[in-house]
Amino acid sequence: MATLPPSKSLSGIQSGTSPWSIEQSIELYGVHDWGAGYFDVSANGDAVVQVQTSKGEVQVSLPDIIQGMKERGLDMPSILRIENVLDDRIKALNEAFRRAITRYEYKNHYRGVFPIKVNQQCHVIEEIADFGARYHHGFEAGSKAELIIALSKIKDDDSLIICNGYKDAEFVELGLYAKEMGLKCVFVLETSSELPIILECSQRLGIEPLLGVRIRPSVIVDGHWNEDSGDRSIFGLSSPALVNVVEQLKQADMLHCLQLLHCHLGSQIPNIRNIRNGVLEACRFYCGLIEEGAPMGLLDLGGGLAVDYEGARSNSHHSMNYQLDEYCANIIETICECLDPLDIPHPVIVSESGRATVAYSSLLLFNVLDVRDHRPSPLPTHLPDSSHDLLHNLWQVNTDINGDNFQECYNDALYYRDEVRELFRRGQASLSDRALADNITLAVLEKVALQLTQCDKSYPELDNLPELLADIYYGNFSLFQSLPDMWAIDQLLPVMPIHRLNEAPTRQAVIADITCDCDGKIDHFATSQGIKRTTLLHEMREGEEYYLGVFLVGAYQETLGDLHNLFGDTNVVSVHIDDKGHYDFVREFHGDSIADVLSYVEYDPKVMTEEFRKRAENAVKKGAITAAKRKQMMRAFKASLDGYTYFEKEEH
């Protein structure tokens, strides 16, 4: 991951007294780099979502939506889904393929399928089925449950249902019935052991299957998911296994059922050159199967179309060095180059774009509960003569520091501080000596950080200084529940305040969640100057909420989340924006209650209530509490069971 030295201040602005414009916020948080035109900042400093409507572009303020949520009793944290953005992504993908098809005079069409595993939530799937029908956009199912979703939600018979994953007889029977009803349901063979099951079910039910084969491409792609391809990939057929499947089909007189070649190179492929190479290899397999006598007709290139989370337009893991139009053009051009000389008809192009379809349409909103301020507390005006020599030395360092000696002062301060800590451990320095040493050192480090912002030279040893001095903003969310990829695979997701963007953010910060886990923090941030380990946030104001948003969370995050510390599903709100910029709350889901999450881990809230009642009754018997107190306690217990698992502000 390319990480910039965090010592330089962005735009050179650190002080709350400097004038600040929304353009500086846009630059600081990289909004125009990662927002893909869906997010911006309004003149009054609100983050806005902007969508195209039949009457032009409209913007809706995110703080306004939060206000609407509050009025409806939906607290933070919440997932906000924007239907229009999801629709626009489906349109963008289909239209980009349509443009490339026209440009290269390609003699067939594109059929997208959405891989359900990327976001299985009912509303997301229903919206894709509804809006996608106009493009015959179908679904990819990787399990029986996902196939059931696809079969019940798909709206259009011309859309494809691509069945990947391991398939037992039940799975196969369902798919065969779907085919008999007129749906284009294709079984993709991941292993040769699936074929006998499919052949047996097909014979038993008298329904011929539509078959595909998943190949194991040798092209290894850049990025995190490069194990989906290559010889050691756990998915797909090796070339000998593929030849064997073809033989078996010939023997069963079923080769005419083989119509699709599937090739998934990996997710979030940042480098377009990998995609070209992968498509070329897939085409060679496709031609090989035609030579063997299979009719074919469908070329499924899997997922992999990336999302530029970093906004860097580079081939780093969190970015992409290509645009959507270029992706489509590269695919079509490569297919034509490979197939045309052999006079092989152009196949229907299928892609299984997941993250590029849904990432932009959801964001996580949460409030900040507290800040651990890392500024030194005010130092005394002078040091008593009786203070320990080490404290006097530290004091001197703090007094003498300047632009020429700050590196030396940094080393000296840490040395003297550690000596005081050692004395404290041995019982030879008091708690107040230790506190003073820590505080003077913090003052020195702050001055060093300031000097660093004013000099051009880089000091690698001091790179992590802003991180050491950064405040910790405690957000009302669980990283493990709402942003699991940030924890599991260091996924970068854009984060920024969603209001006050016309004010200078003055505090370098990292963001911690409310789980009791040191991994529950956000400490990598996309900026227009690269990835940084701290971000600038606003000073909290007494009695005022401060809201942050984590953007581009629509792919994978919702269903991979877990119940760490028993923080459950958050509230979810879906809005649809009309051409006047008004929005409707089209769906609302209240997040898990405490009773819900307890039941997920095998507790019975009714039994627990009874156990608590017995305990309280015992206390009454012993005279520890009154019966009236017991009533109050039982009410509090039941209210907690019904309450949200996240931090709830008391309503007065």
Ligand X SMILES: Cc1ncc(COP(=O)(O)O)c(C=O)c1O
Binding site for ligand X (CB under 6 A): 115, 118, 140, 164, 264, 267-268, 302-305, 352-356, 555
Cα–Cα distance measured from residue 231 to residue 245, given in angstroms and rounded to the nearest whole number: 18
Helix (H, G, I), strand (E, B) or coil at 561: coil
Gyration radius from the chain CA atoms: 30
Nearer to ligand X, 215 or 401 (CB): 215
Preceding amide of 466 cis, omega within 30: no
Please, what is the minimum distance in Å from the beta carbon of residue 560 to ligand X? 12
Please, what is the minimum distance in Å from the beta carbon of residue 356 to ligand X? 6
Please, what is the minimum distance in Å from the beta carbon of residue 91 to ligand X? 17
Long-range contacts of 461-464 (CB under 8 A, 24+ apart): 461/407, 462/7, 462/407, 462/410, 463/5, 463/6, 463/7, 464/6, 464/533
Beta strands 56-61 and 160-163 are unpaired
Please, what is the minimum distance in Å from the beta carbon of residue 267 to ligand X? 3
Nearer to ligand X, 301 or 597 (CB): 301
Nearer to ligand X, 265 or 445 (CB): 265
Nearer to ligand X, 75 or 140 (CB): 140
Cα–Cα distance measured from residue 521 to residue 511, given in angstroms and rounded to the nearest whole number: 6
Please, what is the minimum distance in Å from the beta carbon of residue 329 to ligand X? 18
Nearer to ligand X, 59 or 143 (CB): 143
* Strand extents, DSSP E, 298-393: 298-300, 348-351, 362-372
Please, what is the minimum distance in Å from the beta carbon of residue 268 to ligand X? 6
Cα–Cα distance measured from residue 67 to residue 551, given in angstroms and rounded to the nearest whole number: 19
Nearer to ligand X, 560 or 608 (CB): 560
Cβ-in-10-Å burial (0-12, 13-18, 19+) of 575 comes to: buried
> Is the CB of residue 595 less than 8 Å from the CB of residue 642?
yes
Which one-letter amino acid corresponds to residue 415? Y
Nearer to ligand X, 212 or 354 (CB): 354
Rounded (to 5) percent helix, strand, coil in the chain: 45, 20, 40
Please, what is the minimum distance in Å from the beta carbon of residue 118 to ligand X? 5
Quick one: which of 206, 220, 214, 266 has its CA closest to 239? 214
> Is the CB of residue 224 less than 8 Å from the CB of residue 268?
yes
For residues 304, 308, 314 and 316, what is the CA-based torsion angle, rounded to 10 degrees? -70
Nearer to ligand X, 560 or 620 (CB): 560
Please, what is the minimum distance in Å from the beta carbon of residue 154 to ligand X? 17
Residue, CB closest to ligand X: 303
Cα–Cα distance measured from residue 31 to residue 406, given in angstroms and rounded to the nearest whole number: 35
Nearer to ligand X, 267 or 315 (CB): 267
Beta-carbon count within 10 A of 604 CB? 12
Please, what is the minimum distance in Å from the beta carbon of residue 479 to ligand X? 21
Please, what is the minimum distance in Å from the beta carbon of residue 140 to ligand X? 6
Nearer to ligand X, 58 or 118 (CB): 118
**DSSP assignment letter at 219:** P
Which one-letter amino acid corresponds to residue 202? S
Quick one: which of 469, 471, 467, 449 has its CA closest to 459? 449
What is the residue whose two structure tokens read 């031609």? Answer: 287
Quick one: which of 123, 117, 126 has its CA closest to 144? 117
Nearer to ligand X, 266 or 475 (CB): 266
Nearer to ligand X, 40 or 485 (CB): 485
Please, what is the minimum distance in Å from the beta carbon of residue 630 to ligand X? 54
> Is the CB of residue 157 less than 8 Å from the CB of residue 184?
yes
Please, what is the minimum distance in Å from the beta carbon of residue 318 to ligand X? 13
Please, what is the minimum distance in Å from the beta carbon of residue 355 to ligand X? 4
Cα–Cα distance measured from residue 327 to residue 321, given in angstroms and rounded to the nearest whole number: 10
Which one-letter amino acid corresponds to residue 8? K
> Is the CB of residue 552 less than 8 Å from the CB of residue 34?
yes
| Partner residues linked to 41 by β-bridges | 47
Q: What contacts 220, CB < 8 A, 6 or more positions away?
A: 226, 229, 230, 274
Nearer to ligand X, 188 or 597 (CB): 188
> Is the CB of residue 397 less than 8 Å from the CB of residue 409?
yes
Helix (H) or strand (E) holding 178: helix 169-180
Please, what is the minimum distance in Å from the beta carbon of residue 87 to ligand X? 18
Beta-carbon count within 10 A of 374 CB? 16
Rounded to 5 degrees, φ, ψ at 585 are -80, 95
What is the residue whose two structure tokens read 């004038």? Answer: 19
Please, what is the minimum distance in Å from the beta carbon of residue 648 to ligand X? 35
Nearer to ligand X, 201 or 306 (CB): 306
Nearer to ligand X, 216 or 355 (CB): 355
